[in-house]
């Protein structure tokens, strides 16, 4: 069951990612979804290169890759804990609701632990099937410094 409370929805996404339920995670996303990790807060995705600027097809590609058995950078896979806090409903309308939160991800792989943190924005569409992600933005505090392997799912 996909939660219909906006905050519970965001917690649920974090839970699916930490458990590796990739198909269930992808099903949270609307067909017109955008998933964006800018390098800096004032970046324009049409003019500056982003860490990730995925549409639904690209997101599906990430899941296909991770499940292919040949995604070497995730063999062995990262183990993660997504901690979501400071959840605020910014805008609540008939057709969509906007939720802002703070994200911290602790990732362990190959005997090393990494921490990623940032501000997260979810624009959730109210569809006939319930809430779906129309737009997710994660603004990492470390987005503009040299990073290592970020191919687990934020």
Partner 1 sequence: VRYTSYSTAAGTAPPGCAMTNRVARTSSAARITGGPTTIPVRSEASPTTTDTRISTGPASDWRHCEYLGNAAPYLQRVAAQHPEGIRLGAGAHQVTYPGNWKLQVENSIDGYHFSFVHRSFMEVVADRSGSTTSLQNLAGAGDVSVIDLGGGHAVADRGDATQGTLGGIPFNLNVFPNLCVLGLQVRHVIPKSVARTEVCLYPMLHAGASVEHNASILRAHEDFNGPAGAGTADDMEIAFFRVGDGLEATENDWLVLSRGLHRERPGENGVLIGHPSDEVAQRAFYRRWRQLMGGRT
Three-state DSSP state, 19: helix
Interface residue with partner 1 among 53, 96, 104, 139 (CB under 8 A) is 53
Q: Does 27 bind partner 1 (CB under 8 A)?
A: no
Piece of the chain touching partner 1 by CB under 8 A; list 8-16, 40-48, 88-96, 123-131: 40-48
Interface residue with partner 1 among 14, 16, 37, 125 (CB under 8 A) is 37
Let me know: does 142 contact 104? Beta carbons within 8 Å: no
Interface residue with partner 1 among 42, 68, 85, 93 (CB under 8 A) is 68
Contact pattern from residue 70 through residue 109 relative to partner 1, giving x for each residue in contact according to CB under 8 A and a dash for the rest:
xxxx-x----------------------------------
Degrees to nearest 5, angle at CA 22 with 43 and 133:
50
CB of 70 or CB of 94, closer to partner 1: 70
If you ran DSSP here, which 8-state letter would residue 74 be given?
G
Let me know: does 14 contact 29? Beta carbons within 8 Å: no
Compute CA distances 59 → 17, 19, 115, whole Å.
13, 18, 23
- Alpha carbon 52 to chain centroid distance? 10
Binding site for partner 1 (CB under 8 A): 37, 39, 43, 45-53, 57-58, 60-62, 64-65, 68, 70-73, 75, 110, 144-151, 154
């Amino acid at each position: 069951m996909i939660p219909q409370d906006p905050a519970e929805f965001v917690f649920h996404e974090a839970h699916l990612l930490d458990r590796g339920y990739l198909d269930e995670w992808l099903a949270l996303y609307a067909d017109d979804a955008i998933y964006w990790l800018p390098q800096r807060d004032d970046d324009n995705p049409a003019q500056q290169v982003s860490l990730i600027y995925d549409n639904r097809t690209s997101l599906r590609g990430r899941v296909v890759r991770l499940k292919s058995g040949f995604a070497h950078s995730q063999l062995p896979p990262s183990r993660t804990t997504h901690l979501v806090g400071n959840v605020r409903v910014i805008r609540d309308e008939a057709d969509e609701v906007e939720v802002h939160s703070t994200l911290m991800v602790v990732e362990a792989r190959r005997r090393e632990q990494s921490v990623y943190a940032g501000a997260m924005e979810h624009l959730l569409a109210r569809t006939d099937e319930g809430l779906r992600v129309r737009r997710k933005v994660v603004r990492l505090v470390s987005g503009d410094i040299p990073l290592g392997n970020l191919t687990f799912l934020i």
